[in-house]
Amino acid sequence: MSEWGTYTLSDLVMFSPRVYFRLVERYNQQFWPLQLVWIAGAILILAPAATGVPRARVAAFPLLAAAWLFCAWQFFWERYTAIHWGMSYAAGAFLLQAGLLALSPAPARQTDGPASRLRHRGGICLMLFGLLAYPCLAWPAGRSLASAEIFAMMPDPTATTTLGTVLAVAASGKRGWVLLPIPLLWCAFSGLTLLALEDPGAWASLAVIVATFVLLLADRR
């Protein structure tokens, strides 16, 4: 323990911001315009799912599973592991989350009681933040929009959108709890990594964690 105590956040980051965001830029370029397909598809399915449309509710978690699978394969396994050997474990965690989402489909109708209004609306806000605001964060962070982080392509907006959808769709029952730890842990890891890289995007990841816990606690009252 004493030796671990001598490490700082920056000791655990083994690449420079320039290398990381160039990796994201090249990744985005290689798949353009798939990003638009992911965002449009997610809005078409997740928004009605959150408002209770039965078919959309059934399709929501499989869509999220596909997003986590794509992120695990294309971002973590094919790219991020090249500059961070530890990301092979993250790829495994993302695969596990894809499996959990695939095996935990939301029922066509609400069966476990309604979510509180605050949690439901807050979940929708988080979901929209992940889908629409996250790609724009590159701009206030002083980065090129080519390094925009987009749902299903990149882990942070994928985790954020998933947390929002689970909060809005899985309502107040225990069904959704199993789907929360991995996205929350990822947001914590990512926030700390971006802090070490001195990227303002760190605060978005950390704010998502706070928002999720606020909505969960509000629902328990």
- Which residues here bind another protein, judged by CB under 8 A? 3, 6, 10-11, 13-16, 18-19, 22-23, 26, 79, 82-85
Residues forming beta bridges with residue 151, ordered by sequence position: 154
In the complex, minimum distance from the CB of residue 4 to another protein, in angstroms, rounded to a whole number: 10
- CB within 8 Å of 110: residues ≥ 6 apart: 52, 171
What one-letter code names the amino acid at 185?
Answer: L
Instruction: Please tell me what DSSP assigns to residue 72.
Output: I
Whose Cβ is closer to another protein: residue 79's or residue 121's?
79
Phi-psi region of 118 (alpha: psi -120 to 50; beta: other; left: phi over 0): alpha
In the complex, minimum distance from the CB of residue 187 to another protein, in angstroms, rounded to a whole number: 23
In the complex, minimum distance from the CB of residue 7 to another protein, in angstroms, rounded to a whole number: 8
Whose Cβ is closer to another protein: residue 10's or residue 51's?
10
In the complex, minimum distance from the CB of residue 155 to another protein, in angstroms, rounded to a whole number: 17
Whose Cβ is closer to another protein: residue 147's or residue 212's?
147
Whose Cβ is closer to another protein: residue 12's or residue 210's?
12
Whose Cβ is closer to another protein: residue 16's or residue 111's?
16
What one-letter code names the amino acid at 38?
Answer: W
C-beta of residue 177 within 8 angstroms of C-beta of residue 113: no
- CB within 8 Å of 31: residues ≥ 6 apart: 74, 153
C-beta of residue 30 within 8 angstroms of C-beta of residue 128: no
In the complex, minimum distance from the CB of residue 196 to another protein, in angstroms, rounded to a whole number: 11
